[in-house]
Amino acid sequence: MRKKMVAGNWKMYKTAGEAAILVQNLEDVARDVLGDVEVVVAPPFTALHSVSTVIALDKSPIRLGAQDMFWEEEGAYTGEIAPRMLSDLETSYVIVGHSERRAYFGETDEIVNRKARAVFAHGMTPIVCCGESIETREAGAEADFIAGQIRAGLAGIETMDAMKLVIAYEPIWAIGTGKTASPEQAEEVCAHIRALVCEIFDDVVAARVRILYGGSVKPENAALFFAQPDIDGALVGGAALSVEAFAPIVVAARP
Ligand code: PGA
């Protein structure tokens, strides 16, 4: 009943022109799985306009995502991107709290929460990221750590908004390392996240929220994650940068 989602996080890759070509080349697979799998691409800010234009001109089923957003309406915030700048480009999703933003740009749970609420306030949907470090996992403390990130990240979100929420569980030690969590490890945490969502909101929200796994998802391992009951798709980094790698992951998400 939850539609699977496969989202490509293009990180700091692709010029506007390269991004337009990639999204065009992904249209066939997105049409093939239409109805079963929602395909999202999150290019860098400088490519949002070109990708948005391709999506509109081709009436593409691909949904546009952004990788980050500031919460203020507008103002003297050099280098930042406001919510309306994204919604104006038909952006559907905004990734917030990716571990790279937390690690390199000092984003705290409080910042993640402000961003997530601002995304909803502007009619878009946040993909709220969480995930533990290798030290936390080795200490056996991942469940508590994730609970802290989820409770703080989702604080104050309205139940009606929460129905649409997407959460990405991305263990930091699995991102870009070629080392994935086992499907069982990923399922265990995703089930824990769903139980937390039930506690914070209610069982209706918990049944609707989509929870993605991220961290070295590849064509070879994607189906194993998608077969888990609480994993509703994937947030894909490296393998999202070519059609050859991304298209088979999208196909694997088809029930
Ligand atoms: P990866 O990145 O697929 O390259 O591990 C995932 C992510 O950071 O979202």
pLDDT in tens, 146-198: 999 999 999 999 999 999 999 999 999 998 888 888 999 999 999 999 999 99
> Would you say 48 and 89 are in contact if contact means Cβ atoms under 8 Å apart?
yes
Residues with CB under 6 A from ligand 1: 9, 170, 175-176, 214-217, 235-239
> Would you say 214 and 168 are in contact if contact means Cβ atoms under 8 Å apart?
yes
Best residue among 216, 220, 225 to mutate for probing ligand 1, ranked by most atoms within 8 Å of CB? 216
Work out whether strand 4-9 and strand 125-130 pair parallel, antiparallel, or are unpaired: unpaired
Look at the block and give the residue holding tokens 């991305």: 170
Best residue among 41, 236, 246 to mutate for probing ligand 1, ranked by most atoms within 8 Å of CB? 236
> Would you say 149 and 193 are in contact if contact means Cβ atoms under 8 Å apart?
no
pTM, entire model:
0.98
Atom 6 in ligand 1: residue holding the nearest Cα: 237
One digit per residue, the tens of pLDDT, for the chain of length 255 reads 899 999 999 999 999 999 999 999 999 999 999 999 999 999 999 999 999 999 999 999 999 999 999 999 999 999 999 999 999 999 999 999 999 999 999 999 999 999 999 999 999 999 999 999 999 999 999 999 999 999 999 999 999 999 999 999 999 999 888 888 899 999 999 999 999 999 999 999 999 999 999 999 999 999 999 999 999 999 999 999 999 999 999 999 999
